[in-house]
Structure 1
Amino acid sequence: MALPNDNRIIIVIGAGLAVLAAVVLALVFGSGREPSDEAPPAARGGLTVSLADAPGLEPTRALRCFVDGQFVGMATLTECAQRNGLATDALDVGLDESGNLAAAPTAAFSPPPAVPEIDITELDPMLPEALPAEPSRPVVKQASGSACLRYSGSDWRTLSGNMGLNACVQALYAGTCVRPGDAQYGRWGETTLRLVPRRVEQSDDNSRFRVLADQDRDCQFPGLG
């Protein structure tokens, strides 16, 4: 016996409501589940860590540890510092040549080069000529800046005979990052500049360094303008 048209409409509407209710219940109960620990497929291709992110790592995480420039195995930051006989904050953390997270003493692979012997009168023709009768007379820096030099790995090369400190740092290191344990050196007047992971440092005696400016993940120095 055929059902009246009104009964058919009621059955269709009821079925639709039942499906809608099932969907709502699935969403409600599904949202309360614990999130899965499994990484999403897009994140399984490998770990990439920026040098700027390295300080936020868990202290218990194992890294590739270098001592005297040699890989000595996996260790936490604290353990690696102990193997080097240093404080934890004396280690540079970043990606090594193989692309793995590594820790090494600051500038362990690149100690400071010897201070250059430079005749400043050859760098800037506007500077007064040296006085041979007074060899011990101190050189007075011009207010606008000092000589800026880069160490190329074998010798010193002059970028400018007269440049401000911030401009010198930008000219030397903007857009450049180094691996943990490595360093790049420069000079601004009588000050040694050193680029290490995440920062550039300065030293008045070519031995003891202090932070001059922090470097961001794009290898830039926003604090220097």
Structure 2
Amino acid sequence: MQPSNDRRVIIAVGAGLAILAAVVLALVFSGGRQGPAEPPPAAQGGLTVDVADAPSLEPTRELRCFVEGQYVGMATLTDCARRNGLATEALDVGIDATGALAAAPTAAFAPVPALPPVELIEKPAAATPVTTPATPSAAPVQAGGTACLRYAGSEWRALSSNMSLNQCVQALYAGTCVRPGEAQYGRWGDLTLRLVPRRVEQSGDNTRFRTLAEQDRNCQFPGLN
């Protein structure tokens, strides 16, 4: 009877070891299939990218730098932001008209065009009014408004020789919106006009621009009548 008992013990031990091995394997495989404890970045609001790892935005890489619409040479993103008096995050980085990587405040990638020819700006001399005895003190009629020009296709084109500033802005840009990094230029008398995202700017020296009118989401100018 002894050999039979020994065989039962061996079988029982073997079965126990088999069960233990199955439990261990189950734990190993179930652990490998377990998902991450936290949701992926896309589930937390979108893809997260560390710009420090992007080769095109290396902090030491020099870009074409624009200040107030004028090309000032090559500079790092930080240096270009300092020259503009802005934080680095306030600069747009993209491709300028030459196809090179450039950094500048919004819409400064399109350089300010040269001034238009004088003949497009000067208004024709007003005719001398004819006075009659019935109107001995009649004053000369002054033409209101100024020449309004659009810059397109690398040239200035006259829209009108007699418009108010508000009328010129509406004629140039009402219903037109531009994307970040883009600009459209116009001219009213001695003022250079520039349409940038969400506003029109004006400059009296063709270099320094300040806001003239805000643009709404429908690309209109509710503040200009």
State the 1:177 CA deviation: 0.9
The count of aligned residue pairs is 149
Is contact 1:92–1:104 with CA below 8 Å preserved after alignment?
yes
Alpha-carbon distance in structure 1 between the residues aligned to 2:192 and 2:155: 14
Alpha-carbon distance in structure 2 between the residues aligned to 1:173 and 1:89: 29
Is contact 1:92–1:181 with CA below 8 Å preserved after alignment?
no
Alpha-carbon distance in structure 2 between the residues aligned to 1:120 and 1:157: 8
Alpha-carbon distance in structure 2 between the residues aligned to 1:81 and 1:209: 22
Which residue is equivalent to 1:51?
none
Is contact 1:193–1:201 with CA below 8 Å preserved after alignment?
yes
- The residue correspondences of 1:51-130 to structure 2 (distance < 5 A) are 68=64, 84-85=81-82, 86-88=84-86, 91=90, 105-119=105-119, 127=126
Which residue is equivalent to 2:42?
none
Which residue is equivalent to 2:220?
220
After superposing on structure 2, the runs of 4+ consecutive aligned residues of structure 1 that deviate more than 4 Å are 80-83, 89-93, 123-126
| Identical pairs, percent | 61
- The residue correspondences of 1:1-225 to structure 2 (distance < 5 A) are 68=64, 84-85=81-82, 86-88=84-86, 91=90, 105-119=105-119, 127=126, 144-225=144-225
Local SS of the residue matching 2:111: coil
Alpha-carbon distance in structure 1 between the residues aligned to 2:143 and 2:124: 16
Local SS of the residue matching 2:223: helix
User: CA 1:83/1:189 → structure 2, altered by over 3 Å: closer, same or farther?
Assistant: closer
Give the counterpart letter for 1:211 in structure 2.
T
Q: TM-score, normalised by structure 1?
A: 0.50
User: Which digits, 9 at most, give the CA deviation of each residue in 1:98-122, with x for residues without a partner?
Assistant: xxxxx9513331111000113258x
Alpha-carbon distance in structure 1 between the residues aligned to 2:215 and 2:127: 37
Is contact 1:149–1:160 with CA below 8 Å preserved after alignment?
yes
Is contact 1:92–1:197 with CA below 8 Å preserved after alignment?
no
Give the counterpart letter for 2:64 in structure 1.
D
User: CA 1:154/1:198 → structure 2, altered by over 3 Å: closer, same or farther?
Assistant: same
**Structure 2 alignment gaps of length 5 or more:** 1-44, 47-55, 58-62, 66-76, 96-102, 129-141
Q: Which has the larger radius of gyration?
A: 2
**Structure 1 alignment gaps of length 5 or more:** 1-43, 47-63, 70-79, 97-102, 130-141
Give the counterpart letter for 1:195 in structure 2.
L
User: Which digits, 9 at most, give the CA deviation of each residue in 1:65-86, with x for residues without a partner?
Assistant: 8x638xxxxxxxxxx7766333
Which residue is equivalent to 1:59?
none
State the 1:92 CA deviation: 7.0
Q: Bigger relative contact order, structure 1 or 2, given CA contacts below 8 A and separation 6+? A: 1
